[in-house]
Amino acid sequence: MPTLQFKGKNIIWNHHLSIPYHTLDEVEKLHFQPEKADGNLIIEGDNLLALKALLPQYAGKVKCIYIDPPYNTGNEGWVYNDNVNSPMLKDWLGKEVGKDDLTRHDKWLCMMVPRLKLLRELLADDGAIFISIDDNEQHILRMAMDELFGEENFVANIVWQKKYGPANDAKFISETHEYVIMYCKNKELWAPNLINRNEGQLKAFQNPDNDPRGVWRASDLSARTYSKNCDYEIKIPSGKIVNPPASRSWIITQTRYNELLKDGRIYFGVAGSGRPMQKKFLSEVKEGITPQTWWDREFAGDNKIARYELKEIFPDNIFDTPKPLKLLKRIIELSCSSKDAFILDSFAGSGTAMHAVMDLNKEDSGNRKCIMIQMTEATEAEPKKNICKDITRERVKRAIDKYGYDSGFQYFKVGIPIDAETLLSGNLPTFKQFADYVYYLCTGESLKNKSAPRFKHARTSLNEKSYFVGEHGNSVIYLVYKQNFDVLTRMALNLTLAEKIIVEHPKKKIIVYAPACFLEEDYMKEKNIDYVGIPYNLFRRT
């Protein structure tokens, strides 16, 4: 398969691996009805850091990811800001990416690739990712996604009607659509849900002959191709003989036709003189319709509807490019068979994703959860600007109040990195925060209950007093740690602790993270103890 080449690819391809894990710190005063949050999170900060910070809790658990990244039009004021250790990329920092920038596609890919790699890790094996984009980067994004997710996991390039009418000031051809590119993590494990029929589609089902089986719609009996076995005459109640249209045949054999006729499933019109039609009962057809790649404004909303929805909550024009609720609801309906699924949006913007999740939950009594990530987008000119707090969060808060959603959310900020430099400076995470990362680093899996991962979920196994973190297979994991630098410098894995662990977990492999170890190597080998020194050996895989 051809691969995509761009400036900086060799530098950023594995950049996501070098990013230290960060804590996610609660901002309690910005929670809203946290007792009803039930897993809904709004995270303020750089989405690259936030996505990495989510891995210990949510790796492989997110069913549906939707992102609406910068379209790289050259008119967005977009700036490359990833702190990568490269002279070329450092030279890009803080500079607006304009339309005449010859490296604008390279910069965009250098921003997107690390984030897409982390999003893939967060995605469930049977999950799907949807990306809104337009013609500026659609072709390049497809190539990048083929390389990152696998060409075999491409599902669809959905065309979404963003405008109802043409723009009269268009220089060439008026653009009235955008794309929603869809990939799965593993296409063999993913299956689309049927989309609920709208009111217009349901009106097609009627019951003019008062059939006791209920409403039905008429389906043409003629096929588009010809089959000799299905070419026969039909005598209708009026006595007239009817044949298939020229060069065509019926879609069923004569034997099957006679069976349907006997069962009252052939309709000839009220007077019995119409062409034969097969009756398809609503009670017997699929519960929804198969999704298509063309999503018009009636099906998925448009930009005008999105602006109106936002104006219903914010009287002032506070966000230029919101997406309509209907678009997000269609995406969630299509991809989430479970009403308890996790949905993630790491370019949250105006907060449509969480609003849509809450709206769906109200409609069908679901319990879906949403995680949204948004930067403040503060600048030197606007140091107090905070889109996450003032728009993303505020939109959801007002929506809950206005529409009566029985829900809430918790608000977090990307905190300190968990690395040697930070730990040695005395800026320490809590035991719970550190334990989450240690368990993930040690096992590659989440410490949380898979059915209900959330930050405030009770951890029945975690025990700060005894340093116990959790179990994984035949291994037990301990973290000898206190959130006090003076105490921490005097802590160690000693013989007393080792013997206590051995008694509590006989015949288990014991993995202990600690600042120091006062055990002999032969003893640890005999007792199957693996010591990991913190902070310097923190990220060594056991």
Q: How would you list the strands of the sheet with 475-479, edge to edge?
A: 468-472, 475-479, 509-514, 529-533
Tens digit of pLDDT for each residue in 411-445? 999 999 998 899 999 999 999 999 999 998 888 88
Say if residue 386's pLDDT is above 80.
yes
Q: Is the dihedral of CA 296, 302, 308, 314 positive or negative?
A: positive
Q: 381: pLDDT confidence band, cut at 50, 70 and 90?
A: confident
Say if residue 3's pLDDT is above 80.
yes
How many CB atoms lie under 10 A from the CB of residue 207? 14
Whole-number Å distance between alpha carbons of 454 and 457 = 5
Q: What is the pLDDT of residue 540?
A: 57
Say if residue 142's pLDDT is above 50.
yes
Q: 204: pLDDT confidence band, cut at 50, 70 and 90?
A: confident
Say if residue 448's pLDDT is above 80.
no
- Per DSSP, the three-state class of 48 is helix
Tens digit of pLDDT for each residue in 471-516? 988 999 999 999 999 999 999 999 999 999 999 999 999 999 999 9
C-alpha pair distances (Å), 339 with each of 64, 169, 181, 333, 363: 12, 44, 23, 9, 11
CA 369 distance to own-chain centroid: 11
Residue, of 261 and 201, whose pLDDT is higher: 261
Whole-number Å distance between alpha carbons of 180 and 162 = 11
Return the amino acid letter for 89: L
Lowest-pLDDT choice from 52-61, 97-106, 118-127, 278-287: 278-287
Burial of 426 (0-12, 13-18, 19+ CB in 10 A): exposed
Q: What is the pLDDT of residue 185?
A: 97
Q: What is the pLDDT of residue 452?
A: 37
Map 393-462 to HEC letters: HHHHHHHHHHHCCCCCEEEEEEEEECCHHHHHCCCCCCHHHHHHHHHHHHHCCCCCCCCCCCCCCCCCCC
CB-CB contact of 321 with 349 (8 Å) = yes
Residue percentage of the chain with pLDDT more than 70: 97
pTM for this entry = 0.83
458 CB-near residues (< 8 Å, 6+ apart)? none
Say if residue 94's pLDDT is above 90.
no
Residue among 420, 303, 407, 295 at smallest CA distance from 359: 407
Q: Phi and psi dihedrals of 348, rounded to 5?
A: -65, -30
Say if residue 201's pLDDT is above 60.
yes
Q: Catalogue all structural domains in the chain, each as residue range(s) with its CATH number.
A: 9-195+290-416 (3.40.50.150), 199-281 (no CATH), 420-533 (no CATH)
How many CB atoms lie under 10 A from the CB of residue 312? 12
Q: What is the pLDDT of residue 535?
A: 86
Q: What is the pLDDT of residue 449?
A: 44
Q: Which residue has the tokens 């308890």?
A: 340
Tens digit of pLDDT for each residue in 288-331? 888 899 999 999 999 999 999 999 999 887 888 899 999 999 99
Residue, of 110 and 456, whose pLDDT is higher: 110
- Per DSSP, the three-state class of 357 is helix
Tens digit of pLDDT for each residue in 98-107? 988 999 999 9
Residue, of 536 and 527, whose pLDDT is higher: 527
Whole-number Å distance between alpha carbons of 449 and 447 = 7
Lowest-pLDDT choice from 16-25, 346-355, 386-395: 16-25
What is the pLDDT averaged over residues 257-286? 91
Q: What is the pLDDT of residue 397?
A: 98
- Mean predicted lDDT score pLDDT of the chain: 91
